[in-house]
Amino acid sequence: MATHRSRALWSRVMRSCRLPGFRSSWPRGPLGARHLSQEKQATETHFGFETVSEEEKGGKVYHVFESVAKKYDVMNDMMSFGIHRIWKDLLLSKMHPFPGTQLLDVAGGTGDIAFRFLNYVHEQHKGKQKRQLRAQQNLSWEEIAKKYQSEEDPLGGSRVVVCDINKEMLKIGKQKARAQGHKAGLAWVLGDAEELPFDDDKFDVYTIAFGIRNVTHIDQALQEAHRVLKPGGRFLCLEFSQVNNPLISRLYDLYSFQVIPVLGEVIAGDWKSYQYLVESIRQFPSQEEFKEMIEDAGFEKVTYESLTSGIVAIHSGFKL
């Protein structure tokens, strides 16, 4: 465990050196070299294409999501032409949860993954019950009556905890849950991905969809993910990634930078938040780099699958 942590710390230092705008803050000369070793770790990071201090970044990201919360789902549909729904469905089918799974959905604010999970296990549970019934053809009337009376959990013991650092996003999520009729098996927790308010070895699956990009210390979030998962537990991350096709990459860049902030301004009255969004996508590591970061946190059998030419990728790892 110690080797994992120190490896993660070292890779973080190496990675932070590659940040744009960062080189300018390194002092030069022999005096500067002494500064390097005495100073604490790098205190600057990126906020989109801006360089900000690490303390600032958390607050700025909070402010972004506070202002986009109300229009979050509408904008997702507009920006991705509804394709984000397919991506999230694919994440669930990859997860393939069975009734009884304990899921932690981090940065899950408005509940898209959580609701899909609940629907999925509900369907699974119904399927299981049907199969059971079919196998028991010769039931007496008493046994049938008992089956109807027993208040069996429709989710078969599954539970999902939605954890998010932003109160506004959680508020929207709770409203949606009420509107869609999700009640059982759902919990909402205000928490920081870098310091989760849960005990060790608690969950079967940990998901983070379009959230880890906004975390200031990604490696810490990964370590926390490792900590709260049970042995045998699975880490799944759905996130924007690097496009592999150069032509599509050009079109994607054009669309991202020319159209998306305009959409943000017209629909949500907020240019800057969506400018941050498209810039933060460019700052996130590539599929391979992120895979290495996940391995550094202690996960094994780490794989990734690129979707839509690499616009998004699903990374998966196991705590063994």
Partner 1 sequence: MWSGPWVPPRFAAGRDVPLRGVRHGAAGLLYPGHIPTSPLQKALLAAGSAGMALYNPYRHDMVAVLGETTGLRALKVLRDQMRKDPEGAEILQKRPRISLSTLDLDKLRSLPEGSLGQEYLCFLDVNRVSPDTRAPTRFVDDEELAYVIQRYREIHDMLHTLLGMPTNILGEIVVKWFEAVQTGLPMCILGALFGPIRLSAQSLQVLVSELIPWAIQNGRRAPCVLNLYYERRWEQPLRALREELGITDPPTVHVRGLA
Structural contact between residues 101 and 121, judged by C-beta atoms closer than 8 angstroms:
yes
Query: Is 73 annotated in some ligand binding site?
Result: no
Smallest separation (angstroms) from partner 1 to the CB of 68: 16
**Closest by CA position to 262, among listed 253, 251, 247, 273:** 273
Query: Which one of residues 275, 294, 313, 317 is an interface residue with partner 1 (CB under 8 A)?
Result: 275
- Token readout for 311 is 């616009």
Residue type, 38: Q
Minimum CB distance to partner 1 smaller for 21 or for 197 = 21
Q: Cα separation of 174 and 171, whole Å? A: 5
DSSP-derived pairing of the beta strands 102-106 and 203-209: parallel
Output the CA torsion sign for 211, 212, 214, 216: positive
Give SS3 for 297: coil
Minimum CB distance to partner 1 smaller for 192 or for 265 = 265
Smallest separation (angstroms) from partner 1 to the CB of 270: 10
Give SS3 for 112: helix
Regarding 266 and contact with partner 1 (CB under 8 A), the answer is: yes
Regarding 262 and contact with partner 1 (CB under 8 A), the answer is: yes
Smallest separation (angstroms) from partner 1 to the CB of 3: 40
**Closest by CA position to 205, among listed 90, 97, 93:** 97
Please, which of residues 18-57 interact with partner 1 by CB under 8 A?
A: 49-50
Query: Which one of residues 22, 98, 198, 271 is an interface residue with partner 1 (CB under 8 A)?
Result: 271
Query: Is 105 annotated in some ligand binding site?
Result: no
Minimum CB distance to partner 1 smaller for 173 or for 261 = 261
Minimum CB distance to partner 1 smaller for 9 or for 259 = 259
Q: Where are the beta strands (DSSP E) in the chain?
A: 44-47, 50-53, 102-106, 159-164, 186-190, 203-209, 229-240, 300-307, 312-318
Regarding 261 and contact with partner 1 (CB under 8 A), the answer is: yes
| Residue 18 burial (C-beta neighbours within 10 Å; 0-12, 13-18, 19+) | exposed
Q: Which residues contact 203 (CB under 8 A, 6 or more apart)?
A: 102, 103, 104, 161, 228, 229, 230, 233
Regarding 263 and contact with partner 1 (CB under 8 A), the answer is: yes
Smallest separation (angstroms) from partner 1 to the CB of 251: 13
Minimum CB distance to partner 1 smaller for 253 or for 300 = 253
Contact region with partner 1 (CB under 8 A), list: 92-100, 137-145, 219-227, 268-276 = 268-276
Query: Is 204 annotated in some ligand binding site?
Result: no
Smallest separation (angstroms) from partner 1 to the CB of 70: 14
Minimum CB distance to partner 1 smaller for 279 or for 305 = 279
Regarding 191 and contact with partner 1 (CB under 8 A), the answer is: no
Query: Is 270 annotated in some ligand binding site?
Result: no
Structural contact between residues 215 and 111, judged by C-beta atoms closer than 8 angstroms:
no
Contact region with partner 1 (CB under 8 A), list: 85-93, 191-199, 254-262, 303-311 = 254-262
Binding site residue list for S-adenosyl-L-methionine = 110, 164, 192-193
The annotated binding site is made up of: 110, 164, 192-193
What residues line the site for partner 1 (CB under 8 A)? 49-50, 257-259, 261-263, 265-267, 269, 271-272, 275
